[in-house]
A and B are shown apart, each in its own frame.
Chain A
């Protein structure tokens, strides 16, 4: 009972903070817009009310440029946070994240392939083809990893991680070769790989929204099973958890939404690793609380990072670089402090 109250408190606190940050982020940028104007623009657009006393430029900047990017940042961050939490729980490894099984490398390979093909004169509409190939690359990688790991009928975490490492290594080499082929145009690939939220449109948001909802609800649905998985595969089986089926369903669900996020925003590292870690430190390891919190905290972290690069810094720094630069040192401090408390692991 006490736990449930704590959970509601934690979740509503994070959700409120996220909503406040979204409103705040919409005011920031080259053109400064007040919070009340932002709220009026949002309610006006949603309920089709007339606007009073607002600069029409501000309306289009907020509604067509800033809001889709903010919504995109929150959704991508949320997806990475939730899938990080799920991958850590499924792989029984606190160092895992959404990219451990090579999904990001697969997506990067797909995107680089299209970029290189375009350099060689193949005409494909880049706005659709890059995300599409990235998505297919991510899904294809999971299928390959599952195929490699399936020799072990229990689909154990060691087999999965090992298969993921092998496939990633091969794909990284392939990406290296594509970069070599791209020659002087290699910058396009590198820029894509570092991730960016600058190009996000409402269409992208409409694509991400249902994926994030379905994936997160699926993860929440199986959260108690994930808790039991933490006590080992045999013990989980004996408690009635179908470990193989659980792994397959959640891997498929999380890969689907992660691949979609990567295809829209590129590879944004560190969110999927650090968010579940921090939350476990704050709120305990119970996945029933950890999974919803990971969504909100992932959204908050990526929104802050994206707002810094968009509105605070003089020039846009690739978001993947910024999350690692912000998150890394923070993570080091936390890690050191845990060691001093005599808790080496998480």
Chain B
């Protein structure tokens, strides 16, 4: 239903000369980027390369120090907080909940941008929450206090809440970094299914190159605050680029078992280099 709302040719975001700095420290430098609908984007790069900052800029949480960001039909800073939250959801990396809300209450917060200030969830909303808890595999935790959950369980709550927000765009910041392989694949599969059905557009910060190869159509490689490579996964997930970005030795193969690219890597062998 959602896809028709967007012009599939026009970019979702277009960034022109975007820089961001904390005080004197420049985190992102002169980024020019266009992200189109209908593709699953992955943002990759070594620690401190500005991945999360870029995601914050895309989600409107931070404003660029210079340059402009256009989102769908207008400049990102012209979007009202509420409209933006109805269009775009974020699964943050650090999902820390201070007080003992139950899992159900936390997921229900996803309805916030859709509800009137003193409104309560409708029958339909309640069914949506139930279904989302089921889909993310946390229905059995619904009445548990979120402060008592493990890191992986919390991450699934964060994903469930973002899905409850019913947005067209989903941003994920290392949403599977605390999950075991089964749950990682399950969450990514769930999100990817919705993406393939045309219900959501995706941008994810990823750490695991092999999960990124499975999950993303397009990869943006960041290094030291700059976009160093960007393109379809088959074109940019190559040994040379991985070696250059991460300073490791790498091999990339097509794995017939997963039907994805698979990267293996090791630290540079110094003896050979000499």
Interface residues of chain A, those whose CB is within 8 Å of chain B, are 1, 4, 89, 92-94, 221, 224-225, 227-228, 230-232, 234-235, 237-242, 280, 284-286, 343, 345-346
Contact = CB atoms under 8 A, between A and B. Distances in A.
Interface string B126-156: 0000000000000000000001100000000
Interface residues of B, number: 37
Contacts of A225: 112
Given A228-B112, A235-B158, A286-B105, A1 B120 contact: yes
Given A231-B96, A234-B90, A286-B101, A240 B109 contact: no
Contacts of B95: 231-232, 235
A224 B117 contact: yes
A4 B120 contact: yes
A238 to B, nearest CB: 4
19 contacts: A93-B98, A227-B105, A231-B98, A232-B96, A234-B56, A234-B92, A237-B61, A238-B85, A238-B88, A238-B92, A239-B109, A240-B86, A240-B112, A240-B113, A241-B112, A280-B99, A284-B101, A343-B148, A346-B100
Interface in B72-106: 81-82, 84-86, 88-90, 92, 94-102, 105-106
Contacts of B100: 280, 284-285, 343, 346
A238 B61 contact: yes
A283 to B, nearest CB: 11
A234 B109 contact: no
Nearest to B85: A240
B110 interface: yes
A286 B97 CA distance: 13
Given A1-B120, A238-B59, A231 B85 contact: no
The 5 closest A-B pairs by CB, nearest first: A240-B85, A238-B90, A285-B99, A240-B113, A240-B81
A124 to B, nearest CB: 44
A234 B171 CA distance: 12
A290 B61 CA distance: 28
Contacts of B102: 284
A239 B165 contact: yes
A280 B112 CA distance: 22
Nearest to A285: B99
A94 B147 CA distance: 13
Nearest to B90: A238
Interface of A is mostly: loop
Given A232-B96, A234-B94, 15 more contacts: A94-B98, A94-B99, A221-B117, A225-B112, A230-B101, A232-B97, A238-B61, A238-B88, A238-B171, A239-B85, A242-B81, A280-B100, A284-B102, A285-B99, A286-B105
Contacts, number: 87
Nearest to A92: B98
B89 A238 contact: yes
A235 B160 CA distance: 13
Residue among A4, A221, A227 with most chain B CB within 10 A: A227
Contacts of A230: 97-99, 101
B101 A345 contact: no
Contacts of B82: 240
Interface string B104-124: 011001101101010010000
Contacts of B147: 343, 345
B112 A232 contact: no
Contacts of A228: 109, 112
B249 to A, nearest CB: 35
Choose among A227, A234, A286, A345 the residue with the greatest number of B CB atoms under 10 Å from its CB: A234
A280 B162 CA distance: 26
A343 B89 CA distance: 31
A195 to B, nearest CB: 29
A240 B109 CA distance: 11
A231 B94 CA distance: 9
B63 to A, nearest CB: 9
A280 B99 CA distance: 9
Nearest to B123: A1
A67 B95 CA distance: 49
Contacts of B89: 238
Contacts of A241: 81, 112
B13 to A, nearest CB: 15
Contacts of B90: 234-235, 238
Contacts of B109: 227-228, 231, 239
Contacts of A94: 98-99
Contacts of B84: 240
Contacts of A231: 95-98, 101, 106, 109
Contacts of B101: 227, 230-231, 284-286
A346 B117 CA distance: 27
A230 B86 CA distance: 20
Q: Which of B59, B89, B109 counts the most chain A CB atoms within 10 A?
A: B109
Contacts of B171: 238
Contacts of A235: 90, 92, 95, 158
Contacts of A1: 120
A230 B106 CA distance: 10
Contacts of B81: 237, 240-242
